[in-house]
Chain A
């Protein structure tokens, strides 16, 4: 027990400073969204993540947002269990045709005003899976998308930048 306490003391605080947004386009989008979201979401953003066909790589990186390095909740962003509690749907994967209706229902169950983020290359464009008998391709082929975060998968920092831009809360 003492060993682990010593190790914890030695490790110290890992949580990093929030990332600065250097991308001009993202910043512009952030300012625009900030006005809308500050008015409508009162500074707290509830996200319902929906895997609509992902290979689970994106989920691993979304999970990483909760680790001590990123600690997403300190920004007022939290993941919720029901779309009825959500402001934002964070959708990954190409939309498999077997998930098409489930995704549409989750979107309908999310109260307006709502935003949809397509996270990862597959969600943005269909990615390596594209459109086929089994895949609808990009998320925007099924529900309207407000923000795209490319990457295969997007690293936690890229996800964080996307979320902060959407919430308009970058430091």
Chain B
């Protein structure tokens, strides 16, 4: 079967439904990414057919021009990616909503509506999402005529009047939590409806951290965009910076030296391990078992200190740059890092033994916070949340970008979907990353660690697809004139994991919410943009 067959099947089915898709002949967005242009009227059909084929929905974003808006959605098939593209007018623009076929589309469509003003017909929750009170309903910050400084420099009042769903009934009570939570956590609002201790319904209200990342990205130089991308979600600084650089490099047809690609992967795996260590400990701590937390947090601290020593930053910020990485490994780093990998394996074995076997952890984590595989699939969950709920997806294995195309990436998968399964996946991923890092060091090519990014023509665009520690990161970049950024859209996996939390919390008790939340650990900042 030729590699194009998967796509021709999709196009044929679209045509049978009366749509007129146009396939772009060359792959300009990236390898295995095909662009299909549609009429606005065919927008809904394109998702319906993709859903029937079992494809995954990976995001939607708008690209506002002076008097029109290009809307793009990304679909993921086993064989590759399709970027649907359609152009609508800006005023009174509307497209058919994809949410009925893909529940994960819900908030991204509303985000697009709030920021650009394209409406989605047939959306089940057609109210604001990212917009609170900082700008008006008829204003759309991402449009080109909206000033970056905004139009209302007055104080922004607290958000009121958001249409939360209420449950009626004598015994039902409501618990509002946030935006400021009782801990060192990012802000967001949770509205629980409960009977006794049992949660009947949880509704999230996010957007508190919206700081205009997509708007302030416009006009930046590539190196400046990489720095901004590294702050979309501080815990995923490598993942987002890599995705943005990959998108820019694809748009500009830049090449990255093989040594730099290996070092990027090394950085990404280090980031994965640091976050897994921190969260595995914190999950145990959230059920009152602080011992693994102390063990994991000291190992994480050692890991971060090594980050500082070898790569220049405790969280690895600004290490990935357009065209390569910021610095080469110091001369003695190979031995140091290999020693660290060995030492971490040894130190973790007895700690993970306790996490796996301790009855008091089993009691709290087994069968708690179950995300069933159907919901995980409908929402498009990836990463450890998806992998624990039957979604056997990982870009490093399924659509490998260099250097993973030369590595055999093992992907753990379970289908119990409870907190214990998510912890299991993460413990396994720590060991897998350690092995990957050893192989990356064994095969580290010699040579440069950075190459200049060629200046792309105006209008050149690219799609970055990187497996971050939370799951797949999608990133779209379009260049304008003078090699500056005209559009930047990063889609963190948290967009699909936050709604998963609303589902997996059903029937759990209120006191278990912190541990359920921690076991998913969506990024507020990465989602609010």
Binding site for B on A (CB under 8 A): 1, 3-4, 7, 11, 14, 49-64, 66-69, 79, 81-82, 93-94, 96-102, 105-106, 128-135, 152-153, 155
Expressed in whole angstroms, the minimum distance between the Cβ of A144 and any Cβ of chain B is 16
Residue B135 is within 8 A (CB to CB) of chain A in the complex: yes
Give the residues in chain A near B45, CB-CB below 8 Å: none
Give the residues in chain A near B234, CB-CB below 8 Å: 54-60, 153
B186 & A51 in contact (Cβ 8 Å cutoff)? yes
**When chains A and B are docked, how far (Å) is the Cα of A134 from the Cα of B32?**
36
Given contacts A4-B354, A59-B186, contact A64 B301 (CB under 8 A): yes
Secondary structure dominating the interface of B: loop
Of the listed stretches B205-213, B262-270, B366-374, name the one at the interface; the rest are far from the partner chain. Answer: B205-213
**When chains A and B are docked, how far (Å) is the Cα of A114 from the Cα of B186?**
22
A101 & B294 in contact (Cβ 8 Å cutoff)? no
**When chains A and B are docked, how far (Å) is the Cα of A128 from the Cα of B147?**
18
B151 & A49 in contact (Cβ 8 Å cutoff)? no
Interface residues in B256-302 by Cβ distance below 8 A to A read 278, 294-295, 297-298, 300-301
Residue among B141, B183, B227 making CB contact with A134, cutoff 8 Å: B141
Residue among B148, B155, B528 making CB contact with A133, cutoff 8 Å: B148
Give 10 closest A-B pairs by Cβ, nearest first. Answer: A57-B234, A133-B150, A134-B212, A81-B182, A97-B134, A4-B350, A67-B297, A55-B234, A3-B350, A97-B156
Give the residues in chain B near A68, CB-CB below 8 Å: 294, 297-298, 301
Give the residues in chain A near B314, CB-CB below 8 Å: 61, 155
**When chains A and B are docked, how far (Å) is the Cα of A81 from the Cα of B514?**
14
Residue B192 is within 8 A (CB to CB) of chain A in the complex: no
Expressed in whole angstroms, the minimum distance between the Cβ of B361 and any Cβ of chain A is 14
Expressed in whole angstroms, the minimum distance between the Cβ of A141 and any Cβ of chain B is 11
Expressed in whole angstroms, the minimum distance between the Cβ of A98 and any Cβ of chain B is 5
Residue B491 is within 8 A (CB to CB) of chain A in the complex: no
B216 & A132 in contact (Cβ 8 Å cutoff)? yes
Q: Can you list 10 A-B contacts with CB-CB less than 8 angstroms, sorted by A residue number?
A: A11-B298, A56-B234, A57-B317, A64-B300, A68-B301, A94-B211, A97-B134, A98-B210, A101-B158, A133-B146
Give the residues in chain B near A94, CB-CB below 8 Å: 211
B301 & A133 in contact (Cβ 8 Å cutoff)? no
